[in-house]
Structure formats: structure tokens, C-alpha cells
A and B are shown apart, each in its own frame.
Chain A
Amino acid sequence: MSRPARLRVDPIACAGRGLCAEILPELITLDDWGFPVVQGEVPGPLMGEAREAVRVCPKLALWLEKRP
């Protein structure tokens, strides 16, 4: 059972490649300029996709923040 986590984006590192939004459209949409708008709280069933989105980010701009 995974702990609740928040999806966070580093806006400085992010270059708007958009891979995260393709993998996790449930929580990540793109703004008019192609940069991800992230809905923070990750529900359990989407944790796998969230990890995948973090893994594929070419700029390492996305991370999961574990909640204690």
C-alpha cells in the first residue's frame, strides 16, 4: 500500500516537453503554451502512472513528494 503523495513540478527545470501530460492526463493538463498544470494529490490507483510520468520527464522537472 503506497503512502499518499503529491505530484510537484519544478517550473524552472520544466521545458514543456509534455510527456507527463500524455502519460497522466487525469492529473496533468497543458496550458496554452504547452506547460504542465499539475493537480497535486495523487490518488492510489494513479500512483503507477504518476511514477511513470516522473520517470520519463527528460528534464527531471517532475517529482513525487511523499506525505508523512
Chain B
Amino acid sequence: MRAYESITSPLPSVAARTADQLPRLLPAGFASGPASLAGHIGRYGLPPSSARDWPHRQALIDEVGRSGLTGRGGGAFPTARKLAAVAAQAAPVVVANGTEGEPASAKDKVLLARSPHLVLDGLVLAAAMVGARQAVIVVHHSVREIIDEAVAERRRAGLDGVRIRVVTGADRFVGGEASAVVHWIERGVPTPTRTPPRLSERGLGGKPTLVQNVETLAHLALIARYGSSWFRAVGTAGEPGSMLVTILGGVNEPGVHEIAIGTPVAEVLSLAGGASAPLQALLLGGYFGCWADAGAAASLPFSAAGLAPLGAGIGAGLIAALPADACGLAETARVVRYLADESAGQCGPCLFGLDAVAGEIQRLADGRTSSLATLRRWLSQVDGRGACRHPDGTVGLIRSALRVFEAEVHQHAQGWCCANRPGAVLPVPPRRQP
């Protein structure tokens, strides 16, 4: 630790600022490149070193519980409950999940690229809290070098009591699902595995495994330093804290921003320079999220409770703005084809069902002969029928499209579409050769 005593702080310490100031996770201002270890410690201070000792471990888990932190990978599961479940077991493993296989989302990549040490702090602290001797971080290939460099920097400084292994994530949509991440690390196969057993009971190498999204771990690193009240100074009572959001589509400056949970949707869009064209709808949460009418969503808080009236949620923090001159059905059909292709191919209803559904919604979007009744029957047959939630998420997206773009569904059945925008709004990687 001696190495840090002489470090002068290039940025005002986060603890010295008022707790409601954002950003917390990302660098403030226009700092470029990843934060160095010195800059990181200058800003946040050293992580508490007592996390490894009982009863500090339990006290820290309780503090995380009081903070109300939930998983930021889209699941929103209470982090303290996961920590406690794994801490109760012998010889566990901790995995930081920065796979971010969703092609439209960038928040985990940006976080890892700008604040790698905050995530690594969180990983090391989580390992300490559950008593793990192994820590693995899985990251997108675009930020692999940054993380390797950050891990090497920490090793040279002798900062961590646990060795961190870095793994490049599988560039697949389902590759980020927790059991798929474990499967990938262990066998190089990015597909989900069946439950039971739960990962918290038997995961990596047969050991109890804690898989946490990288943003969740970054929040955890701050809660361990500044406490739960500090964390709760922003956000809502039910959903405290800040979160990273990826804003794209019909906005002037697409990008990743940090918001207090519960910030009105219109205000979130203004962080990205506001709408670049009149908007008709927003895709909220991610490709497993929901379409919502742009006007109806604008004044609502961006929180699970706030968006619930629209049937939508915050998911992994994606907001995609659909301009009025784009076709929501065509956009949905393209994304659904991608999601169907991205099925791990393990479960029959997902493999065959999503393919059938993708074909039907494409025919619907194209104005070719299609049956809405058949589509709806297939949706109910696919929903909840996989080992993971891939089919369910895709079904949710389609159901919201049929609801929000109901008028277009009828227009397309008559053979016309009023969209005249060239090019696609939602990004989808080129189709793989089957």
C-alpha cells in the first residue's frame, strides 16, 4: 500500500463531493482513456482492506443489502442475496460478467474501458465477501487489452489478495447469460446449462459460483467505501442508486450515460442531445425489452416501477429511439431474426419455435401472407419453454411490438407501410453462415 501514499489526487475525491452528484462510475468531464490505478485511487480512495475478515465480511454483505443494490445486467436480482447464498458455501468462485453480447448495448464496454479499476475493486471485494480464492473477469474483446493492463498494474502494486484471471467473452447474444458464461470459461462453449443445480450451488469447476455483472461490481466497490446511505442518495426509494444507460437511434449524440434511477425518460434522452427527429416509439431495456409509445414514455421515470404501466422495464439500461419515419415492424422482424439465429439451439421450442416466429413476423412486416393468430399461438408455445430466458425475452419483444405498432400491423396486412426511412435503426450483426 505504501506506493499510494504520495499520490496526489488529479480529480476531486468522490467521497468529498455531495452524494447526489453524478457520474459516480464513469470519469467526470472529458478525461480520455482508462483511469490509471493512481488516478482511480486518487478519485475514490483505497478499497477497504478488511473485507476478507469475518465479521467484516458479513457486515459488508449487510451493508450491500441496506443499499438496495440490484444486478445491473438486466436481471435486477438483489445483489446481497446472491452474495449471502454463495458466502454460505465452501470454496466459492466469483465471476465478473462483462460479456455484453447484446449488439445495441455498450455500457459495460464503456465502463470497462473508462473505469477498469472500479470494476476490479468490486470483483476483489465480492471475492472477499464470499470467501472466494478465485476471481475471473469475462470481458468483450474490444476492452481485453485495457483490462489486462489494469490487472497487471494492480499485480505490480500488490493491491489484491486474490489472483484475477481475465477471459475474453464469447461474442454471442446468449453468451452473457450467467450459466453460459460459466460454460464458456470452463469448456469454451457459450451456451446456457440446465438448472438445477443453481450456479450458487455448483458452477465453475463444480464450485459454488457468484456471477455478477461488471456494473453491479462497480457499484459494490463504492458501497463498500462510502456506505449504503451514500448509495441511496440518488435513485428512488424502491430502486436506489445510479445506473448506466446506452442511448441510441434517433438521438443527436448516441452514447453511454449514467443516470439516477427514476430520471424521466425525456431527461435521459436529453443527455444524448435529445431527439434528432420526431420519435414514434422507444425500445426500452434491450432486445429482450419492450417497445413503448414515445409520447407515453417521455414523462415516465426510467425505473422498473415507473415503466411498469407500459409493460416495460429498465433491463440492461438500453433506450433505442425509433424515428417516426422508420417501420417498427420491420425493425422488430430484423431483431427477431437475429435473436432466433442466436438461439443456442439446445431447446426444441427455442430452436424451432423462434425460427418459425421470426419467419412469420418477417412475412407480416413484408406484407406477405401471414397469420396473426398463428403468430400468437406460437408465441404462447415458445414462452417459458427454454433452459434460459432467451425464448421468453424474444416473445416479450414481439408482443410489445404487436401492441405498440398495432396500426401498422393492419396496414401491412393491407400491403402498405408508411415508413420511408432508408437503413436500419437497431444494430444487428451480419448474419452468420449457417
Contacts and interface: CB of A to CB of B under 8 A. Distances in A.
B352 A11 contact: no
Contact of A31 (B194, B381, B386, B387): B381
Contact of A12 (B356, B377, B387): B387
Interface residues of B, number: 16
22 contacts: A11-B349, A11-B350, A11-B385, A11-B386, A11-B387, A12-B193, A12-B194, A12-B346, A13-B194, A14-B347, A15-B348, A16-B348, A31-B353, A31-B381, A31-B385, A32-B356, A32-B377, A32-B381, A33-B348, A33-B353, A33-B356, A35-B352
Contact of B194 (A10, A15, A32, A37): A10
A14 B386 CA distance: 11
Interface string B348-362: 111011001000000
A62 B230 CA distance: 49
B378 interface: yes
B307 to A, nearest CB: 30
Contacts of B386: 11
Interface in B379-432: 381, 385-387
A35 B347 CA distance: 9
Contacts of A12: 193-194, 346-347, 387
A43 interface: no
Interface string A3-47: 000000011111110000000000000011111010000000000
Shortest beta-carbon contacts, A-B, top 3: A11-B347, A35-B348, A33-B352
Nearest to A61: B194
B346 A37 contact: no
Interface residues of A, number: 13
B51 to A, nearest CB: 36
Contacts of A16: 348
Contacts of A37: 381, 385
Interface string B271-314: 00000000000000000000000000000000000000000000
Contacts of B352: 33, 35
B255 to A, nearest CB: 38
A50 to B, nearest CB: 19
A54 to B, nearest CB: 16
Given A11-B385, A12-B387, A33 B194 contact: no
A13 B349 CA distance: 12
Nearest to B378: A32
Contacts of B349: 11, 31, 33, 35
Contacts of B350: 11
B387 to A, nearest CB: 5
Given A31-B385, A33-B348, A35-B349, 4 more contacts: A32-B377, A32-B378, A32-B381, A33-B353
A15 B381 CA distance: 16
B337 to A, nearest CB: 18
Contacts of B356: 32-33
A35 B385 contact: yes
A49 to B, nearest CB: 22
A32 B194 CA distance: 23
A41 B353 CA distance: 25
Contact of A10 (B353, B377, B387): B387
A19 B194 CA distance: 22
Most chain B CB atoms below 10 A, which of A10, A11, A37: A11
